[in-house]
Chain A
């Protein structure tokens, strides 16, 4: 039988104290949809399980400059919450397209970020929205841009004694889109996913975000492609160029879901489609 301690604190200070005690011997458990397969198959052997579902971190608030989303907010809540639909429709769309109903009811936004899969749907959308995360440990708190958070597949800057407590999504204007291509339509991990955000100034592009999922060791912001759009008049030609550039910045692998070759071909089409569809979208206004 496995010797494991189980904690389900209701106070954040308790939770961070437990983490400080056990450090990397503890596993944080939120929805469990990434951790439990590993636990069931003996791939991880934590000494302690810290369940964070009772910390009261499952809420969505609208501040003056950002949406604040609690780390244990479920994907199901993100998909349906009116604030997310209103201010971060790309995130709601990513939530709707991730997993299936039973997965969405358990899966959390904090888990999607901490797990750091290159295919993480919510992360792809959050990067396009310039989100940041609040990290808390017993010794303090820091806010980190999500773009600076990931180091590689399942590798992040998160310290063993830190918890993600909140996600901040700045309220900024723009037209957004999230698209995902999987092996099938339901409950599927992305072969390639893309989130885009276009801030327009008349018919000029003031600023742009193009983010790819499953196309690099981490979800990828395609900064050169974004730069191509910035300050320019958006034309079909320019969109083609940006898509080609975005794929040039990616470095997909061949795995059980698709070949690298296919990912590049499909990815280019998906970026183009996302940019075109974003232009037709209603503008988000903070």
Chain B
């Protein structure tokens, strides 16, 4: 099978990687680039664990064909830290225990990041509705909502 070169901006740096046409962005991130922050929970678009930001907007990396991101910008949980400092959301999730097993966390963080970028002071209902596509089977929803509210309130 002919592989093609895919070039895109990943967490601020340009990367070029050989991929095949049926590979998803999730496949390429996890299996080829060892960017394993985005998780494979379903490969079906349902769980949200694979969510990344594409040009700043959350998308399912499991439903994004890798070649379609040519020239675009992808941010994963690995790109949230700035100069070794945790992002405010990461701090809040960590300190407030907004997870149990942590498998949903990378996806949750990316969607939360996008929410606060659009709406710095979301209501509880706005948070719930914006985050509705990300499942947490451990049931950390309350702590996740509180962590986002705490960041919005300037506590971090």
Chain A residues in the interface with B (C-beta under 8 A):
1-6, 8, 29, 31-33, 36-37, 39-41, 49, 51, 53, 76, 99-103, 105-106, 185-187
Contact = CB atoms under 8 A, between A and B. Distances in A.
A120 to B, nearest CB: 15
B67 A106 contact: no
Interface string B12-52: 00000000111010000000000000000001111010010
A32 B45 CA distance: 10
Interface residues on B, range: 20 to 34
| 7 shortest interchain CB distances as A-B pairs | A186-B132, A100-B133, A6-B21, A36-B63, A1-B1, A102-B58, A40-B43
A76 B118 CA distance: 13
B21 A4 contact: yes
Given A32-B64, A36-B45, A39-B22, 9 more contacts: A2-B20, A2-B21, A6-B21, A8-B70, A29-B65, A37-B43, A49-B21, A102-B48, A106-B64
15 contacts: A1-B1, A2-B1, A4-B1, A6-B4, A6-B21, A6-B67, A8-B68, A8-B70, A33-B45, A41-B43, A53-B68, A100-B132, A185-B129, A185-B132, A187-B46
Contacts of B63: 31-33, 36-37, 103, 106
Contacts of B1: 1-4
Contacts of B92: none
Contacts, number: 94
Contacts of A49: 21-22, 65
Interface in B111-144: 111, 114, 128-130, 132-134
A204 B62 CA distance: 51
Nearest to B56: A105
Nearest to A5: B21
Contacts of B129: 185-186
B150 interface: no
